[in-house]
Amino acid sequence: MPVLLLPASFLQGKGSDPSCYSGALELREYRECRVGQLPQIYLNILIPVFALVAIGYVVGPRLGLEARTLSRVAYFVLVPAFTFSVLTTSRIDAAIAGRMVLYIGVVEVACALVAVGIARLFKRSPQMTGAYVLIAVFPNVGNFGSGSV
C-alpha cells in the first residue's frame, strides 16, 4: 500500500497535539491526530451549544420568555458585543492586514464588474444596475454589528 506523507505545515493550526506537527506524517498518523482531537471539539464546541439549547428548553416555558425578545437581544446586544470583543482582542500583523485589505478590494471590484456585466447583458436600467452592484458588493454578512449603529 502506498504511503502518503503530509508536511507539518499542512497540519499547523489544526489542533493542539504538538506531535501532529513534527515532520512529515503518514496519512494514518494524521487521521489518528485528528481523531484524538474529537473529545476537545465536543468539549469546547458541541457541549456548550447543546447546554444552551437545553437551558432554553427548560427555562423558557417556565419564565414565559418570548423568542422574539431573545432574538432582538442577541441581534442588537450580544452579536455587536461579541464582534467588538473579537476585533479589539485580535492581534494581526500589518503585512497580513494589508494583504487582506487588498484581496477584499480586488474581490469587491470584481463582483461589481460582474454585476455591471450581468445588468448590461439583461439590458437593465441604470437604477437597476446600481442595485445589482450593491447586492454584489455588500452581501448580507454586513448585518453583523449593524444593530449597534
| Mean pLDDT in consecutive groups of 10 residues from the start of the chain, 149 residues | 42 49 57 72 85 87 83 87 89 90 94 96 94 84 48
In three-state secondary structure terms, 92 is coil
Please report the pLDDT score of residue 67 as a whole number. Answer: 80
- Strand pairing class (25-26; 5-6): antiparallel
> Residue written as cell 493542539?
16
Is residue 77 located within the same domain as residue 148? Answer: yes
Same domain, yes or no: 59 and 75: no
Same domain, 107 and 126: yes
Distance, CA of 38 to CA of 21 (rounded, Å) = 17
How many structural domains is the chain composed of?
2
- Are 13 and 79 part of one and the same domain? no
What pLDDT sits at residue 31? 63
Q: How far apart are the first and last CA of the chain?
A: 59
Q: What is the pTM of this model?
A: 0.45
Which pLDDT score, from 0 to 100, does residue 105 have? 93
